[in-house]
Amino acid sequence: MADKKKIVLAYSGGLDTSVAVPWFKENYDAEVITVTVDLGMVDLEAIRKRALAVGAAKALTVDGRDTLVNEFLFPALQAGAIYEEQYPLATALGRPLIARYLVEAAQAEGAYAVAHGCTGKGNDQVRLDVGVTALAPELKVIAPVRDWGMSRQQEIEYAQARKLPINIKSSRFSVDENLWGRSVEAGELEDPWQEPPEEAYAWTKPLSATPDDPAYLEVHFDQGIPTAVDGEAMPGAALIRHLNALAGSNGVGRLDHVENRLVGIKSREVYEAPGAVVLHAAHKALETLTLSKDQARTKARIAQEYADMVYNGLWYSHHRHDLDAYVRSTQRYVTGDVRLRLHKGNCVVVGRSSPNGLYQHRLATYDSGDQFDHSAAVGFISIYGLPVRTQNQVQR
Ligand code: ARG
């Protein structure tokens, strides 16, 4: 046993990765060590037991919640990273952290390879493969589902023949979730004309079941990081969880997106991201008060670049490092409070305030107390309009 090759497998407890355990033992003559990462939404102990039951030599678990929030979610929030104006990138932000834990486990256990259950047509295989090989180029990455060519039915038969304790009841949707959101695809969602059925949703209420009265809340930010809700200081993971529940109960955070995958196809995915939707709206509102016009314009371009970079699996790039440095610098004065109204699926910013706000009432007001120099506007406009006047006079 001691000289057997070792493979570290990212294990979710689902059918694919449960079948992968005996499959590796049979086809690679290797011992399998599973790693299950808690990014906010899993029952680690139940999955650990199942890993051992399907034949893992060792089942490791990691609580990645705080690291996910502090090193991935909040930097992406500060960046304003939303893919194609819809998707707050929950799955995409979780993958590089899973890659990191896989590498750490492989190195600690002396494994020659890491493995994951991604298919060959999604973005996640790219994120994991690129992530792992960026951190540990010497490791081999194996994606059995990409290689074995079994249909779902064949996988079930394979599992039954080996008496694996799997539960096949699983839904018609493919779901991935972490603190930042829930990603749902497959089943009838593959028809982009069809309205997503209610069963696709789990974190958000249908409008018919949301309260008639609006809910108001206040989020406090310290240098672009949310630190308190309604005056109560909360650590990041608890704060996100709180907003997921509150916004979800008001039907906020449902997203229906036909997106452009890195592998060149379009796919229809439904997301639930109540906390992320609230925090992005609030953060952006605070930036309207605290960033200059030029900073805001440039930052909006960086936000798109950042979102593409995350979506496309390039987290462990120097490019990300550089973008982060820019983003962090922009957040120095993004401190203050935002007031929001949640009602019937809508999240609306209704107020914002900051000790560093660039909004000056004495300059903006139309009432008495106005200190804006109206007479200076005349000379400004004359020079500002000069090139337009000149060109229109000469080039008639
Ligand atoms: N399309 C999303 C992404 O690429 C989510 C992928 C995982 N989705 C799922 N339903 N399993 O980030």
State the average pLDDT over residues 178-183: 98
Asked if the structure places residue 327 within a domain, the reply is: no
Q: Which of 161, 188, 212 is the last residue of a domain?
A: 161
Claim to verify: residue 147 and residue 84 sit in the same structural domain: yes
The tens digit of pLDDT for each residue in 288-317 reads 999 999 999 999 999 999 999 999 999 999
Asked if the structure places residue 112 within a domain, the reply is: yes
Claim to verify: residue 98 and residue 115 sit in the same structural domain: yes
State the average pLDDT over residues 354-377: 93
Claim to verify: residue 9 and residue 153 sit in the same structural domain: yes
Give me the residue label for tokens 């987290």.
315
- Per-residue model confidence (pLDDT) at position 237: 98
Phi first, then psi: what are they for 347, rounded to 5°?
-120, 115
The structural domain count of the chain equals 3
Flag whether pLDDT at 214 surpasses 90: yes
- Per-residue model confidence (pLDDT) at position 305: 98
- Per-residue model confidence (pLDDT) at position 172: 86
Claim to verify: residue 202 and residue 339 sit in the same structural domain: yes
The tens digit of pLDDT for each residue in 62-112 reads 999 999 999 999 999 999 999 999 999 999 999 999 999 999 999 999 999
State the average pLDDT over residues 228-241: 98
Claim to verify: residue 16 and residue 133 sit in the same structural domain: yes
In whole angstroms, give the CA distance from residue 228 to residue 140.
43
For a mutational test of ligand 1's pocket, the pick from 86, 97, 176, i.e. the residue with the most ligand atoms closer than 8 A to its C-beta, is 176
Claim to verify: residue 192 and residue 109 sit in the same structural domain: no
Ligand 1 mean position, distance from CA 272 (Å)? 12
Number of CB atoms found within 10 A of residue 274's CB:
27
pLDDT class of 129 with cuts at 50, 70, 90: very high
Q: Write the CATH number for 139.
A: 3.40.50.620
- Per-residue model confidence (pLDDT) at position 4: 86
Q: Which of 161, 189, 204 is the last residue of a domain?
A: 161
In whole angstroms, give the CA distance from residue 302 to residue 333.
18
Flag whether pLDDT at 211 surpasses 90: yes
Asked if the structure places residue 89 within a domain, the reply is: yes
Claim to verify: residue 97 and residue 224 sit in the same structural domain: no
- Per-residue model confidence (pLDDT) at position 166: 83
Asked if the structure places residue 266 within a domain, the reply is: yes
Which structural domain, as residue segments, surrounds residue 182? Answer: 174-291+333-353
The residue among 174, 120, 159 whose CA lies nearest residue 143 is 120
- Per-residue model confidence (pLDDT) at position 171: 76
Two structure tokens written together for 322: 């550089």
**What's the chain's average pLDDT?**
96
For a mutational test of ligand 1's pocket, the pick from 73, 82, 91, 271, i.e. the residue with the most ligand atoms closer than 8 A to its C-beta, is 91
Claim to verify: residue 118 and residue 182 sit in the same structural domain: no
Claim to verify: residue 141 and residue 258 sit in the same structural domain: no
- Per-residue model confidence (pLDDT) at position 42: 83
For a mutational test of ligand 1's pocket, the pick from 73, 116, 173, 183, i.e. the residue with the most ligand atoms closer than 8 A to its C-beta, is 183
In whole angstroms, give the CA distance from residue 265 to residue 256.
17
Q: Write the CATH number for 252.
A: 3.90.1260.10
- Per-residue model confidence (pLDDT) at position 2: 55
Residue 156: Cβ-neighbour burial (10 angstroms; 0-12, 13-18, 19+): middle
The residue among 110, 122, 138, 144 whose CA lies nearest residue 10 is 144
Asked if the structure places residue 310 within a domain, the reply is: no
Claim to verify: residue 121 and residue 203 sit in the same structural domain: no
Claim to verify: residue 120 and residue 257 sit in the same structural domain: no
State the average pLDDT over residues 239-267: 98
Asked if the structure places residue 122 within a domain, the reply is: yes
Strand-pairing partners, residue 263, are: none
In whole angstroms, give the CA distance from residue 359 to residue 353.
9
Instruction: Enumerate residues lining ligand 1, CB below 6 A.
Output: 91-92, 123-124, 174-176, 183-185, 269
Claim to verify: residue 16 and residue 142 sit in the same structural domain: yes
Closest residue by CA, ligand 1 atom 8 = 183
Instruction: Mark 55-82 as b/e (b = at least 16 C-beta within 10 Å).
Output: bbbbbbbbebbebbbebbbbbbbbbbbb
Ligand 1 mean position, distance from CA 213 (Å)? 34
Q: Which of 135, 161, 187 is the last residue of a domain?
A: 161
Asked if the structure places residue 326 within a domain, the reply is: no
- Per-residue model confidence (pLDDT) at position 151: 86
Residues with a known catalytic role: 16, 95, 124, 174
Flag whether pLDDT at 1 surpasses 70: no
The tens digit of pLDDT for each residue in 185-204 reads 999 999 999 999 999 999 99
Ligand 1 mean position, distance from CA 220 (Å)? 30
Asked if the structure places residue 311 within a domain, the reply is: no
pLDDT class of 16 with cuts at 50, 70, 90: very high
The tens digit of pLDDT for each residue in 20-53 reads 999 999 999 999 999 999 999 788 999 999 999 9
